[in-house]
Amino acid sequence: MSAALFEPLTLRSLTIPNRVWMAPMDQYSAEAAGPKAGVANDWHFAHYASRATGGTGLILVEATAVSPEGRISPADLGIWNDTQAEALGRIAGFLKEHGTVPGIQIGHAGRKASTRRPWQGRGPVGEGEHGWQPVGPSPVAFAEGYTVPTELTTEGIEEIVGQFADAARRALAAGFQILEVHGAHGYLIGEFLSPHSNRRTDAYGGSFENRTRLALEVVDAVRAVWPEELPVFFRISATDWLGEQGWTVDETVRLAALLREHGVDLLDVSSGGNGGPADIPVGPGYQVPFAARVRAETGLPVAAVGMITESAQAEKIVANGEADAVLLGRELLRDASWARRAARELGAETHAPAPYAWAI
């Protein structure tokens, strides 16, 4: 018996051993200040290592900030200096050694930066809590009670594009084999995409072409320093769930085609996260149709996310051609060995370290 979920997938010259992937999920567990600010620690190592030994084919390390101001919270990981890259390299090396492809998501939080860790109540943090003034496409706060961001100048935008390229160089030096650009969930790139958060009247606002300009500039900058033989992913919110006042699925399909032309190899399709009175019909696999539409209309490989919890459900998504892979989030927090359990249930195999062979 064969299972589509456990077939390898080759993107460029890189082969990922199966289609069970770990979505980037912030741990909010780094030090906020000092020489170890943003540096991955033992918590991060144990967190990712356990999912690798559990048979996961690809692990995307959580949103890792390209600058101090790009962190979602003061406790986020960063990759704006070599100390951070060296610590991340320890993680990448372990994943690779145990059969899992190491990937990393790099991003900038934009107007959603300088906020509390979720279990501390969210909302902005002040200077006394290592907070800072966030930036964004327009001086429009994410939500009531959040800080109004400083509107980025053209020079500020150019600087951030350069920070993404620098982060990509460090990620490569650390040993990561897949780089994902974070353009989803109302963070900086997603803020530029959506008219809900982007009220600019210059070359970065207004039309679809202008609102997508930053996304394409970042991808071009990253692709210029990332090896031709290794894949680049892009994570997107397929919709803000705000109707025509926000980013739409039709626009996602248009952008997906452009991203493919600019060297993106797979679209990681999520949704929401940009504020507003969004009415989201959450349920099992509720975001899968967005991924399926992008794949059908553009030919760009996609990964599906969102309440994918059962092996049979994941197998159906891949076998039916709705997505090329599934990215698990909370389910992998609940069960680090989900991939090995799913393989047993589907009559397939996945990698495991020799000391765990008794449990295959």
Catalytic residue positions, numbered: 187
DSSP letter at 301 equals: -
Q: For 18, list phi and psi in degrees, rounded to 5.
A: -155, 180
Rounded to 5 degrees, what are φ and ψ at 238? -60, -30
How many Å apart are CA 345 and CA 347, to the nearest integer?
A: 6
What interhelical angle do 249-261 and 288-298 show, nearest 10? 50
Q: Which two tokens stand for residue 91?
A: 């993680």
Are residues 184 and 175 in contact, defined by beta-carbon separation less than 8 angstroms?
A: no
Residue 285, Cβ density class (10 Å: 0-12 exposed, 13-18 middle, ≥19 buried):
buried
The C-alpha atoms of residue 27 and residue 35 are separated, in whole angstroms, by: 19
Per-state percent for the chain, helix, strand, coil, to nearest 5: 40, 15, 45
Phi, psi of 210 (to 5 degrees): -75, -40
* CA distance linking residue 60 with residue 27, whole number of Å: 13
